[in-house]
Amino acid sequence: MKVLIATHNQGKIHEFKALLKKHQIEALTVKDFPPQSFEVEETGASYLENAVLKALKYYEVYQVPVISDDSGLEVVCLDGAPGIKSSRFLDSHVSFETKRKALIQLIGSNIPAEAFFVAYVVYYDGHTLLNARGDITGLIIHEERGTNGFGYDPIFFLPDYQKTMAEISDNLKNTISHRAKACEALIKKIQLMRSGL
Ligand code: ITT
């Protein structure tokens, strides 16, 4: 089975490729198709709505089964911010190094601060729409640690491993992360759908 990963985020693509490979699903990316110019406006009021918007748009453009992801970082003492706006925090063109520094400043004396990563993933093949959710708890710390992963990973500390999400291996992130949990749950639903149950 082949599925198009409906994202331009290279970090997500890297993770989805490994997550799908475990289940013998081949991950396609937009680079496997002739160039298309389109944008998905993330106008949804929730992660799920945005993930659905992405899935429907990529399916409309490429006409192959797709998996999309809308995810974010929620800091408890900031009432869940940056949340659904995590990639647009400050501005979508601002570097993640700057976003991470600004977030640490915003949290101020509440650091280390309890936080969650949340991911909603959606499968759409023109007929069936499936979705699943995953999350992981951690602490936002005041210093950057590690170079793996992407986005907010270097400041997301995992107490159980005494490492940040950017210090653990790709393999471990792909077992415990919000995206890994959501993707595993989604694949179970896809398999059930394909087996006719
Ligand atoms: P697409 O819409 O093309 O998928 P995007 O990066 O804009 O790409 P989102 O709108 O879902 O995707 O934004 C999610 C943001 O949340 C992402 O850019 C990161 O800042 C953050 N994020 C999500 N998962 C993450 C992870 O595993 N590690 C670090 N940061 C993560």
Domains of the chain, earliest start first: 2-194 (3.90.950.10)
Q: What are the pLDDT digits (tens) for 17-58?
A: 999 999 999 999 999 999 999 999 999 999 999 999 999 999
Q: Which of the four pLDDT bands, split at 50, 70 and 90, describes residue 173? A: very high
Closest C-alpha among 73, 195, 48, 14 to residue 130: 48
The token pair that represents 139 in the structure block: 């602490």
Using most ligand atoms within 8 A of CB, pick from 29, 62, 86 the residue to mutate for ligand 1.
Answer: 86
Q: Is the CB of 150 under 6 A from ligand 1?
A: yes
Q: What are the pLDDT digits (tens) for 135-157?
A: 999 999 999 999 999 999 999 99
Residue 9 has pLDDT above 80, yes or no: yes
Q: Ligand 1: which residue has its CA nearest to atom 21?
A: 72
Q: Which of the four pLDDT bands, split at 50, 70 and 90, describes residue 196? A: confident
Q: Is the CB of 72 under 6 A from ligand 1?
A: yes
Q: Which of the four pLDDT bands, split at 50, 70 and 90, describes residue 61? A: very high
What is the structure's pLDDT at 148? 98
% of the chain exceeding 70 in pLDDT: 100
Please say if 79 is a catalytic residue.
Answer: no
Provide DSSP, the chain. Answer: -EEEE----HHHHHHHHHHHHTTT-EEE-GGGS-----------SSHHHHHHHHHHHHHHHH-S-EEEEEEEEEEGGGTT-BGGGGGGSS-TTS-HHHHHHHHHHHHGGG-SEEEEEEEEEEEE-SS-EEEEEEEEEEEE-SS---SSS-TTGGGEEETTTTEETTTS-HHHHHHHSHHHHHHHHHHHHHHHHHTT-
